[in-house]
Amino acid sequence: MPDKAFYENVTIITGASEGIGRELALQLADKGAWLALAARDASKLEDVAAQCIKRGARAIVVPTDVTQQSQCEQLIERTVSEYERIDTLINNAGLSMYSRFDELQDLTILERIMQVNYLGIVYCTFYALPYLKKTKGRIVGMCSLLGKAGAPTRIGYAASKHAAVGFYDSLRIECSGDEVTVTVICPDFVSTGIRERSLGADAKPLGTSTLNEARIMTVEKCVELTIKAIIQRKRELIMSMRGKVGLWLKLIAPKLVDNIARNAIEKGR
């Protein structure tokens, strides 16, 4: 028997075609979830959905650009049309960057990142919330340690994740009376492919990672920890000891934390 915590749990995952979103879909499929998979690339989503169905899940594909409000609304309505409810919304779609602010050649990079990483979660959450209230469901935000602290070359990404964390923290308070829980996930570096898709100073994807991918957390481990936190309805998950210590040090030695962040980016781990 699949894990009861997600058995027939109607779960929406944005950014489900690759990386953390794809792995979330696969691991939740093993638990018998009923999935609505969203991303821009329909062919990749179809592949993920097929694998989920083989693992015992139900899965539908809803091609969605989360920067488009109308498409986010359609994602929610298509899910409800198929499954008649929503139990869990996982806002996972994300976009990163790699450039110093003073080297940017195109400021629209910052607009694009904010649209994906912040407005995308606002749109999806807004339309899903009435249904989540009915099921006393879960909202899950895949954020980042950079939603808690800054880092060089990630200025737009960090700003968008700070906005996301603020949104979720405020929403959690508003939803407390409805028994809808909000879980914020803050991984450290994870080997997901996001850095290859990160935008450079010219607003084009880098095509290669700036980090030593072999020395950072695997996507499988990240998702295992994430699902455990979702099941427990945790308020927040800081995924690495470095992150936990860093946030504590930030209170008493902020300059030291700045130096740690700089060194981490420069050394690629």
Q: Are 140 and 88 in contact (CB under 8 A)?
A: yes
Give Cα separations from 11 to 2, 34, 72 (angstroms): 15, 6, 15
Q: Exposed, middle or buried, 207 (CB in 10 Å: 0-12/13-18/19+)?
A: exposed
The residue type at 54: K
Catalytic-role residue among 98, 118, 157, 168: 157
Q: Is 157 a catalytic residue?
A: yes
Catalytic residues: 157
